[in-house]
Structure formats: structure tokens, C-alpha cells
Amino acid sequence: MATSLKRIEKEFILGSVRDDKIPVLLIAGAGEWPVSIAELAKDHLTIAHAMPLRLLRRAETYEFRFVYREQAMAFRAKVLDVKETSLTISLPESVYKNLERRYSRRAPPLGFSASFSFMGERFELSFPTSREYDPVAQPEPSPDFDPSDIRVLVHEFNERAGEVASERIIRMWKDKVPESVEERIVVRTGKIFYLPTAAGGIPGHDPYAKPRIVTREVFADWLREEGTREELVEDEILRYERNKKASGTLSLLMVPVLFQEYVIGVVILENRTPGRPPFDLMALETYQQFAKILAYSLKLNGYFRNAPKKASGFPAEVIDVSAGGLLFANPSRELATSLVPGSRIELQLKTANRGIKASALLKRCYRDSELVYYGVEYDDIAPEDFRFLFEALYGRPFTDDDARSVEGLGIQVPPDLKFD
């Protein structure tokens, strides 16, 4: 995720860009124009340029990108004054690094529109929803669990889980409300509640590259969302840990059973018998895999056969677009419960001259008082459609240099263009 530089680091890097004459791209007029920082003042930057003046407007905000020590960075700034070979811009409030987008964003070109639909069948179910999304594709084959027969699968779970846990439960939540603290957190976050030992408490960090467990930080965030005052959050976590230890729990594992945007159940393993080893990460991964196989088995065996299907073909108000994805908005709050990070959608893009189909992965979403905004990244688009879109957005062909460049930025200064 893109992160904002601290003030001192921001000023140091902008000063280095000026002193080392590091090329900067100014995004304007459907093109990328090489410029440089000529002066760094307390409240503004002076930019040297050789651009057509018709592309530069006073009071307009533009995006700037550059690469510093092989790290792509970007900022936005308002133009204060425009001259033949220079312009003055406001000192940017933020400079961002760790950019996830490979290509700079643009306002949608004239005649550009988009709509989207979910991939595959989507169901209207009476289960609680979560922030996680699982399309429930066929899982990898497992030597321990067979999804073809649901009764055999549950029997395999009871046999295998009985070897490591004193108590094991598969709890389904159709027309039910999760009640315990752990159940409510699992539903809200879609993450695994993992208490390796009650004595050790809630884990302080998540060892997985893609976070999957409830850490102390996740627990704290949930408490805040539940209305706990900030000064009481840590006390509430300690109280939970003390109560869990006093209840006789030695080790606990609760894995959500995810089906699309729903948490249809939870797989619970608990040790309350002294002498049994605590659950380790191998147990966590085994029963997370079981939860995925259980969800697929339910679908395979017709558990959702009579559930009503959700609609498709939603309109998307495009905010900005790049060669790698787009940001769009939709007012539906109901849709927001279904379209969560990790969802895959089918996009239908229309330009003045071409229609484009692409599948995309939802990376992030946020909302204001009226709309919900979704940032998606294409994960399957025909090469000829990608090149057409790139040229339509950036006003030039996609080159080998673009493919090789850092984060796809392709920052290069023509040899005959110099800045003093």
C-alpha cells in the first residue's frame, strides 16, 4: 500500500531530486512530460519544463512521478504560476512511496464508460457477511479431506480433529447470529481466531505474507469499532485474555467457513485437557484448508441450489483510469456488502472506438456520505486491448522500455532535452 513520507524525509528527497537533477514526469493532456525541480522553497517548488503552455493551467492540480533510488514516488500539487520555461507549484502536502499502481491514473477520456458483473453465480443467502471474499473455486486436492460426499467429509473432520483437540465443532450460521467475542470477530474480519496458548495470549503479529489471523492489533480495532473508548482498549484485551485462561481453555482455533461474501459457519478446535500440545501453524493451515473444502463441498452437493441469485451488470461511475486498473463509484450500500477486497469481477469497458472486456481483482474500497468507491486491478486483459487502452490513455504506444521500467513508469529523458 502506498505510504506518505514524513515531512523531513519528504523535504530531503525533493531536495535530492533537485540537486541530482532526477527526471520527473508531469502528467498532463493525456501525456507524460519530463520536467525537473529547479528550486525548492518553504511553500512552493519551481519546475523547469519544455511543455506546450496550452497544457498548463493556473490553479489546476497535476500529478508528478519520479524514481528515487529505484523506488517509484508520486505527489499532486496545484499550479500557482505558469511561464514559458518554468512553472511554480505549491509544496505538496504528501509524497507517496510504495506505489501499488504500475501506471499513472487519468481522468476517463471522452466517450469512456464502464459496467461490471461478478464472476460466476452469486447467491442471496441468510448468513452474516464479512470483509473477506472467497469465490469458492475448487480447492487443491487434499489427502485428508474429500469434498465429494459431505457426510464422509464431516466424519473425516471428526476423526482427524479428535487426534489433536479435546473439543471440535462445525457451527453453521444460517438464520443465526454469532454471539461469542471470538465468533463476532471472525465474522467481522473474516480472519482466523488463533490462540496458540491461553497463557501466551493473542498473537502480536501475523507470520503470513497475506494476513489471515486475528492479532492484538486486529482485536483492538474491533473493540474500537464496537465503541470501546481508546483508553480502555488495552484493558479490554487483557481482561479477555485473563477470562479465557480462567475458563480452562488451553488452546483455541476458530476458522471461518467463507462462501463468497458470507461467513456460513466456523470450524472450532479447542483444547481443555492438560497434556495435549498447543495448536501450531500446521494445524491452522490444515483446518483452514478443511474450511475451504467444506465450503466447496456444500456448493458441490447442492446446499445453495434453491437460493435466489443476485443481479449482475452494475453501472460504474469511473473516477479515474489507468492501463492497470480503474477507480469507480457506485451508490449501493447493499452492493458494498458483497463487493469486498478479494472479489473478482468482469469489466465491460467502452471507448469511443472500441469495447474491452477484462477480469479484475478488487484491491481496496472506501466510502463517503453518498458513494462507495472501488479500486480494481486488471488481472486478465487481452494484449491487444491493453495496448489500445495504454495508447488511448497516455497518447503513445506501449514500448519495451515500459515493460522493463521500474513499476512500469518508463521514466526516460530524451537525449536532446536538458535542464540547467
Domain boundaries, the chain: 3-99, 113-122+310-394, 134-300
- The per-residue pLDDT for range 164-223, each reduced to its tens digit, is 899 999 998 877 788 899 999 999 888 999 999 998 999 999 988 888 999 999 999 999
Element (H, E) at 34: strand 31-40
Is it the case that residue 345 has pLDDT exceeding 70? yes
Prediction pTM value: 0.56
267-287 residues labelled b (16+ CB within 10 A) or e (exposed): bbbbbeeeeeebbeeebbebb
Phi and psi of 53, rounded to 5°? -65, -25
Please give the average per-residue pLDDT across 367-395, as a whole number. Answer: 85
Angle value at C-alpha 373, between 395 and 385, nearest 5 degrees: 35
Give the span between the Cα atoms of 21 and 13, in whole angstroms.
Answer: 12
Q: What is the DSSP string of 340-393?
A: -TT-EEEEEEE-SS-EEEEEEEEEEEEE-SS-EEEEEEEEEE-HHHHHHHHHHH
Is it the case that residue 420 has pLDDT exceeding 60? no
The DSSP code for 412 is -
pLDDT of residue 410: 39
pLDDT of residue 235: 95
**CATH assignment, 113-122+310-394:** 2.40.10.220
pLDDT of residue 399: 75
In CATH terms, 3-99 corresponds, of 2.30.110.10, 3.30.465.10, 3.40.50.300, 1.10.287.1040, to: 2.30.110.10
Q: Are 417 and 34 spatial neighbours (Cβ–Cβ below 8 Å)?
A: yes
Is it the case that residue 413 has pLDDT exceeding 90? no
Strands (E) in 173-310, as ranges, are 193-195, 251-271
Work out the pLDDT band at 119, boundaries 50, 70, 90. low
**CATH assignment, 134-300:** 3.30.450.40
Element (H, E) at 170: strand 167-172
Q: What's the whole-number average pLDDT of the chain?
A: 84
Give the span between the Cα atoms of 343 and 114, in whole angstroms.
Answer: 17
Q: Which of 75, 210, 208 is nearest to 132 (CA)?
A: 210
- The per-residue pLDDT for range 58-106, each reduced to its tens digit, is 988 998 988 888 778 889 899 999 999 999 999 998 888 866 556 777 7
pLDDT of residue 419: 34
Q: Are 96 and 4 spatial neighbours (Cβ–Cβ below 8 Å)?
A: yes
pLDDT of residue 395: 79
Q: Which residues, at least 6 apart from 217, have a Cβ–Cβ distance to it below 8 Å?
A: none
Percent of the chain clearing pLDDT 70 (strictly above): 90
Is it the case that residue 308 has pLDDT exceeding 90? no
Give the span between the Cα atoms of 102 and 124, in whole angstroms.
Answer: 36
